[in-house]
Structure 1
Amino acid sequence: MLVAGTSDSAIMLEWAMGELMRNPSIMKKAQEEIRETVNGNTISDADIQNMHYLKMIVKETLRLHGPPFLIPRISRRDCVVDGYDIPAKTRILVNALACATDPDSWEDPESFIPERFENRYINYSGTDFEFIPFGSGRRVCPGITFGVGIIENALTTLLYHFDWELPHGLTPHELDLTEGTVLSTLPKHPIEVVPVIVSLET
Structure 2
Amino acid sequence: MFTAGTDTSSIIVEWAMAEMMNNPSIMASAQEEMDRVVGRDRRLEESDIANLPYLQAICKEAMRLHPSTPLSLPHFSFEECEEDGHHVPANTRLLINIWAIGRDPAAWEDPLEFRPERFLSGPAAKIDPMGNNFELIPFGAGRRICAGKLAGMVFVQYFLGMLVHSFEWRLPDGEEKVDMAETFGLALPKAIPLKAVVTRRLVPAAYA
Q: TM-score range by the shorter chain?
A: over 0.9
- Of 42-51 and 185-194, deviating more is 42-51
- From 118, 123, 128, the counterpart of 2:128: 123
Offset of 1:198 from its aligned partner?
2.1
Q: Secondary structure of the residue that 2:183 maps to in structure 1?
A: strand
Residue type of the alignment partner of 1:194: V
- Work out the CA distance in 2 between the residues paired with 1:26 and 1:163: 13
- Work out the CA distance in 1 between the residues paired with 2:103 and 2:71: 13
Equivalences for residues 16-55 of structure 1 within 5 A: 16-39=16-39, 40-55=41-56
Q: Secondary structure of the residue that 2:138 maps to in structure 1?
A: coil
Partner of 1:156: 161
For residues 149-192 of structure 1, what are the alpha-carbon distances to aligned partners after superposition, in whole Å with 9 as ceiling and x for unaligned?
11111111111111001013211xx3210111111111111111
- From 153, 174, 177, the counterpart of 2:180: 177
Offset of 1:193 from its aligned partner?
1.0
Equivalences for residues 133-144 of structure 1 within 5 A: 133-144=138-149
- Work out the CA distance in 2 between the residues paired with 1:142 and 1:101: 25
Offset of 1:35 from its aligned partner?
1.5
Q: Secondary structure of the residue that 2:199 maps to in structure 1?
A: strand
Partner of 1:197: 200
Question: Is residue 6–residue 150 contact of structure 1 (8 Å, CA) maintained in 2?
Answer: no
- Work out the CA distance in 1 between the residues paired with 2:7 and 2:104: 27
Q: Secondary structure of the residue that 1:5 maps to in structure 2?
A: helix
For residues 44-96 of structure 1, what are the alpha-carbon distances to aligned partners after superposition, in whole Å with 9 as ceiling and x for unaligned?
22211100000000000000000211001111111111111110011111101
Residue type of the alignment partner of 2:65: L
- From 74, 88, 113, the counterpart of 1:72: 74
Distance 1:19-1:194 versus aligned 2 partners, 3 A rule? same
Distance 1:21-1:42 versus aligned 2 partners, 3 A rule? closer
Offset of 1:28 from its aligned partner?
0.3
- Of 180-189 and 53-62, deviating more is 180-189
Residue type of the alignment partner of 1:191: L
Partner of 2:113: 111
Equivalences for residues 96-107 of structure 1 within 5 A: 96-107=98-109
Is residue 56 from structure 1 mapped to residue 61 from structure 2 by the alignment?
A: no
- Work out the CA distance in 1 between the residues paired with 2:134 and 2:164: 31
Q: Secondary structure of the residue that 2:169 maps to in structure 1?
A: strand
Question: Scaled by the length of structure 2, what TM-score is found?
Answer: 0.91
- Work out the CA distance in 2 between the residues paired with 1:128 and 1:151: 19
Q: Which runs of 4+ in 1 moved over 3 A?
A: none
Q: Secondary structure of the residue that 2:189 maps to in structure 1?
A: strand
Q: Secondary structure of the residue that 1:188 maps to in structure 2?
A: coil
- From 97, 103, 120, the counterpart of 1:95: 97
For residues 135-162 of structure 1, what are the alpha-carbon distances to aligned partners after superposition, in whole Å with 9 as ceiling and x for unaligned?
0001111111111111111111111111
